[in-house]
Amino acid sequence: VAAPALYLAADLYTDDRRDAEARATFLELARRYPGRREAPDAAFRAAIIAVVKGQHAEAARELDALIRQ
């Protein structure tokens, strides 16, 4: 129940253009619940927000980690 709730919260933050909160929530989901089906998408979306915000090194590290999973 917690992973889907975090995903929904992060998605709503994205809709409201609250990118920092969205990114933090997506990352929290991916770190706390790595085995959940939402985790890879949450990690990807967090990395994309980093790209949009110009945080390219962080995004690259996160995308590399996602590929290695």
Helix 39-52 × helix 2-15 angle, to 10°: 20
Cα separation, 25 vs 42, whole angstroms: 9
pTM of the model: 0.93
In the structure encoding, which two tokens stand for residue 66, read together?
């996602």
List, as one string, the DSSP characters of 8-63.
HHHHHHHHTT-HHHHHHHHHHHHHH-TTSTTHHHHHHHHHHHHHHTT-HHHHHHHH
Percent of the chain with pLDDT over 90: 97
Render pLDDT for 10-32 as a digit per residue (tens, 0 to 9).
Answer: 999 999 999 999 999 999 999 99
With the C-alpha atoms ordered 58, 62, 59, 1, is the resulting torsion angle positive or negative?
Answer: negative
